[in-house]
Structure 1
Amino acid sequence: MSTTAEPGLRERKKAATRQALHDAAVRLATEHGLDRITVEAIADEAGVSRRTFSNYFGSKEEALMYGDFRRVQSLIEMVRARPASESPWTALTAAAAAFTGELGELDPQLVVQGRLLRSHPTLIAAQVQTFAAVERDLAAEVSARMAEDDPRGVRARMTAATFLVALRVSLNMWLEAPAGTPLWQMAEEALATAGRGFK
């Protein structure tokens, strides 16, 4: 048997375990509240050991926010798929429009996370860390599209960070808005305001 497929299988198993832990964290937090659940309870719910949990997440907050991490990774893929001729902010805005269109179908777990975010400052901090963790990858996509010199990568990092902050703020505002409010309506305004220095 060829060993070339083994890394792919191993990665799939890791991804399945990570997703199972995230799902367990969301279920338990929804049923019992964040303050009343423990890492041990999440591990038990997912059918893994406490040590296995620690191999994937540093805290219950991080496990809960894994959905956001995956969504932002998806957003980066959308940016990557935009035509190479587009300027950085144009590509970012177009990707955000597609991204918010998909979220507009309102993943129930996203609603749960939104409710938890409003009542737990530790989750807000975890969300900020989640977005910051992908900032470097997004900055690399921005840098590849830049026409002007940016030897230290400052402008690329600032562009990526500004974009992510605008998206995070509009997402949180949308979760607090009346039902039926289009996410893109909030995101478009936030991105237009934030992007004035990056056109």
Structure 2
Amino acid sequence: MTSEVSLRERKKQATRAALSHAAWSLMIEHGLQAVTPETVAEAVDVSPRTFRNYFASREEAILYGLVRRAGSIADALRARPAGEPVWDSLIEVLPDMVAGLLGESRDLLLLMHAILRDPAMFAQHLVAFEHSQELFAAVIAERTGTDHRYDLSPRLLAAALGVAMRTAALAWAQSETDVSIADLIRRCLMELRAGIPLGES
């Protein structure tokens, strides 16, 4: 019975991931207006009703992949050696994993344009951002022996990390720099760790 449930759940997860990937690809290739329950369902060879069973909106489908991969980053932070300072763990894990999550600069720029121009995308982006922030706050609390439900520090640090990664992503997507997104994230984290030393030599 357990194996049957497990298999059924894996099939559901695979369908959800396929729908999300199709929604993302349609947005990147044809724009946000091309993403509908019908076009996404057709790309995955399922019915529009199936799409609606998995996602409440096209925006949720587009951003689901990023939310799911944020969970893998949290798992990687949990797997760091016990006793390693939390900043060392963050700087070791986040730059390369977030770089892999974001993909090509062109894709990221298209996503950011969609988020900034479409109110529904902006709202769903905030939901995804909040979910990721909760994940990171929980991991930081675990590694620092605090409780993110009551202590401010894990939540403050998780929120600062989100801002740092978004700042690095926008700078990378909008510039002609040869600096990698991983290096920009690493630089942002190092400045945060140093207390953002504005104007200091």
TM-score w.r.t. the length of structure 2 is: 0.80
The separation in 1 between residues aligned to 2:6 and 2:178, in whole angstroms, is 41
Q: Does 1:137 align with 2:132?
A: no
Paired with 1:54 and 1:114, the residues of 2 have a C-alpha distance of 27
Question: Greater shift after overlay, 64-73 or 92-101?
Answer: 92-101
Does residue 115 (structure 1) correspond to residue 83 (structure 2)? The answer is no
**In the TM superposition, what whole-angstrom CA distance separates every residue of 1:137-173 from its partner, at most 9, and x where no partner exists?**
2212111122578771321111112112211321232
CA distance in 1 between counterparts of 2:149 and 2:55 reads 34
Further displaced range: 6-15 or 187-196: 187-196
The structural deviation recorded for 1:50 is: 2.9
Count residues with an aligned counterpart: 192
Please list every run of 5 or more consecutive structure 1 residues that lacks an aligned counterpart in the other structure.
none
Question: What stretches of structure 2 of length at least 5 have no aligned partner?
Answer: 196-201
Q: Secondary structure at the match of 2:83?
A: coil
Q: Percent of aligned pairs with the same residue?
A: 34
Deviation of the 1:196 alpha carbon: 4.2
SS in 2 for 1:82: coil
Equivalent in the alignment of 1:20: 18
Distance between the aligned counterparts of 1:151 and 1:112, measured in 2? 35
- Counterpart contact for 2:78–2:139, Cα < 8 Å: yes
Q: Is the 8 A contact 1:68 1:127 kept in 2?
A: no
The answer to whether the 8 A contact 1:92-1:163 is kept is no
Residue matched to 1:128 = 126
Aligned match of 1:62 in 53, 60, 63?
60
Contact 1:21 1:63 in 2 (8 A): yes
Closer/same/farther in 2, CA of residues 33 and 148 from structure 1, 3 Å limit: closer
**CA apart distance, 1:194:** 2.9
CA offset at residue 192 of structure 1? 2.3
Who is 1:95 aligned against?
93
Alignment counterpart, residue 71 of structure 2, candidates 67, 70, 73: 73
Paired with 1:138 and 1:78, the residues of 2 have a C-alpha distance of: 11
Tell me, in whole angstroms, the C-alpha distance in 2 between the residues paired with 1:52 and 1:107: 28
Native 8 Å contact 2:71 2:135 kept in 1: no
Indicate the SS of the match to 2:81.
coil
Maintained 8 Å contact 2:59/2:124: yes
Change over 3 Å in CA distance of 1:25–1:148 after alignment to 2: closer
Asked whether the equivalents of residues 30 and 112 of structure 1 are also in contact (C-alpha less than 8 Å), the reply is yes
Root-mean-square deviation (CA), in Å? 2.7
For the structure 1 residues 135 and 84, does the alpha-carbon distance in structure 2 shift closer, same or farther, using more than 3 Å as the test?
same
